[in-house]
Structure 1
Amino acid sequence: MERPLPISPYAEPFYADATPTGADGQRIGVLLSHGFTGSPASMVPWGKHLAGLGYGVAVPRLPGHGTTWQELNKCRWADWYGEVQRAFDKLGANCDQVVVGGLSMGAGLVLQLAADRGRDVAGIVVVNPAVHTQRKDVLALPVLQHVVGSFPGIANDIKKPDVEEHGYTRTPLKAARSMMLGWKQVRADLPKVTSPLLMFRSAEDHVVDPSSGRIILASVSSRDLTERILEHSYHVATLDNDASVILEESADFVRRVTGT
């Protein structure tokens, strides 16, 4: 039996219990999912901000993350989605309403959750969501994944100096291929998404191209739909110059959609 790999101290998940908020004393939960090859470190400051407002918060560590890229290469979309589902169900068991949020691949995961869980999701906040790519080199992934273990990493696309995402320096190709296959299902199910949606998108992003945002905005059935362009951040905007914008406006969004 293989011994579990040690987890980076920066990749520890974060959880906080909800306290009653609003005139009716509701308990509100927020699930935040990090992205591909990243770690909870990219979401914990956001989660701590919301926890400080009394919300229950779950920032899970997706399988294969925070250890080694080789371990991530053994994981698949179903593993990551399963972890997000478990975190959502745990929040739902202790909260009256749950809002979901995600960065990059994490945004794709929570959009799938919103499509599957319908009215159980009170609202959705996505940051530089990834559900599609225009890169032509990914067309070779079905073959390359059996020949090459990894490509150079995509971590630390951050405009703010001296900020570290604590992601992998390599991109595992089998896992990347699985992620992109998962995107197909997300895109097919986007019309099922009806929850209020707030999208933050960086004007300059070197990891995810604008096609994902366009597809999401054109496909979801949400009537309450807002896109916010971030002018001073790159891909990992949750740690970048516009982080305060995300924290403050997402908190306002949670209050509004939950009626608290």
Structure 2
Amino acid sequence: MIEVMADAEPFAFEGNDIGVVVSHGFTGTTQSMRYVGEQLYRRFGFTVVGPRLPGHGTSPDDMETTGYLDWAGEVERCLRELAARKKMVFVTGLSMGGTLTLNMAARFPELVKAIAPIAPAAGLLAPEFAEVLALNPPPARIPGIGSDIKAPGVVELAYSEVPVACMREVVVLASQTHDLMHRITCPTLVLHGREDHVVPPANAMLVVNTVRASDIRLLWLENSYHVATLDNDKDLIVDRVGNFFAEIAASK
């Protein structure tokens, strides 16, 4: 039995007939999305599910046994389970969770009715990330990339080291998702911090300029770094994402 860290467990809040899947990011945990997920339930009444991605919230050794198919597979499982019992389902997520949000919308348009990717990695890497992947021989691990947060005293629950083998998996996921983004036609709200030290903000414009939805919106987060869902703009995120999903739900 693999032990899961405290606050890294999957969560669910049963609300109305509108389902929302919320996904955390690479090396992070459900802790980064729990506030947003709970507030989407409390303020808007949505049914919210926050999966723990395989290999996350346990140990880097455990993570090293997983890859992008496992991560995407868990989000897909939650998406299908919600879609089977709710009137419509939306998806949001942070960082790689934003990538998975885009991936689900591109691959399962019949299930995903709107999306709100937050700081999504959509094909453009930070130079430091790319440089590690060019090392030969590669290191097995690098220092962790969590807690890029502007608000003082706020800490993200994330690994202190990153398996480089899993970094390659992220690149495959981002590349695959980039190549499928033109299939996205559902309403899309992209949120990204202007000062993001992990995922280049240019990814936001890449998404906006690639998806083919007739309703595409972009919100720059002016007072947060990468982990915006725990940062100064977390309530702005809840407000904008919640109202966006409620608007789309009302129009269907």
Match of 2:148 among 152, 157, 172: 157
CA contact (8 A) 1:155 1:167 kept: yes
Match of 1:81 among 49, 72, 75: 72
Residue 171 (structure 1) aligned with residue 171 (structure 2): no
1:94 aligned residue: 85
Deviates more, 1:129-138 or 1:73-82: 129-138
1:22 aligned residue: none
Match of 1:33 among 6, 23, 34: 23
Residue 45 (structure 1) aligned with residue 42 (structure 2): no
Residue 103 (structure 1) aligned with residue 94 (structure 2): yes
Residue 125 (structure 1) aligned with residue 116 (structure 2): yes
Per-residue CA deviations over 1:62-108 (Å, capped at 9, x if unaligned) read 00000111211221000000000001011111210001001000111
TM-score by length of 2: 0.94
Give the drift of 1:141.
2.0
Q: Which runs of 5+ in 2 are unaligned?
A: none
Task: Give the alignment's Cα RMSD to 1 decimal.
Answer: 1.5
Residue 222 (structure 1) aligned with residue 213 (structure 2): yes
In the superposition, relative to structure 1, how do residues 172 and 221 fare at CA in structure 2: closer, same or farther (>3 Å)? same
2:5 aligned residue: 8
CA contact (8 A) 1:18 1:95 kept: no
Kindly provide the amino acid, as one letter, of the partner of residue 35 in structure 2. P
2:248 aligned residue: 257
2:130 aligned residue: 138
1:190 aligned residue: 181
CA contact (8 A) 2:133 2:168 kept: yes
Kindly provide the amino acid, as one letter, of the partner of residue 18 in structure 1. G
CA contact (8 A) 2:191 2:204 kept: no
Per-residue CA deviations over 1:192-246 (Å, capped at 9, x if unaligned) read 0001011111010110112321211111001101111111100000000000100
Kindly tell me the number of residue pairs found equivalent between the two proteins: 249
Identity of aligned residues (%): 36
Deviates more, 1:38-47 or 1:49-58: 49-58
CA contact (8 A) 1:74 1:174 kept: no
Distance 1:120 1:234 in 2: 31
SS of 1:122 mapped into structure 2: strand
Deviates more, 1:96-105 or 1:117-126: 117-126
Match of 2:103 among 112, 116, 140: 112
1:56 aligned residue: 47
In the superposition, relative to structure 1, how do residues 73 and 17 fare at CA in structure 2: closer, same or farther (>3 Å)? same
Distance 2:129 2:220 in 1: 27
Per-residue CA deviations over 1:136-190 (Å, capped at 9, x if unaligned) read 662552665x642111111000001111110011111001101101111101100
In the superposition, relative to structure 1, how do residues 140 and 154 fare at CA in structure 2: closer, same or farther (>3 Å)? closer
SS of 1:185 mapped into structure 2: helix
Kindly provide the amino acid, as one letter, of the partner of residue 122 in structure 1. K
Q: Which runs of 5+ in 1 are unaligned?
A: 20-26
TM-score by length of 1: 0.92
CA contact (8 A) 1:36 1:105 kept: yes
1:210 aligned residue: 201
Give the drift of 1:35.
0.3
Kindly provide the amino acid, as one letter, of the partner of residue 14 in structure 1. F
CA contact (8 A) 1:134 1:211 kept: no
Residue 65 (structure 1) aligned with residue 49 (structure 2): no
In the superposition, relative to structure 1, how do residues 162 and 137 fare at CA in structure 2: closer, same or farther (>3 Å)? closer
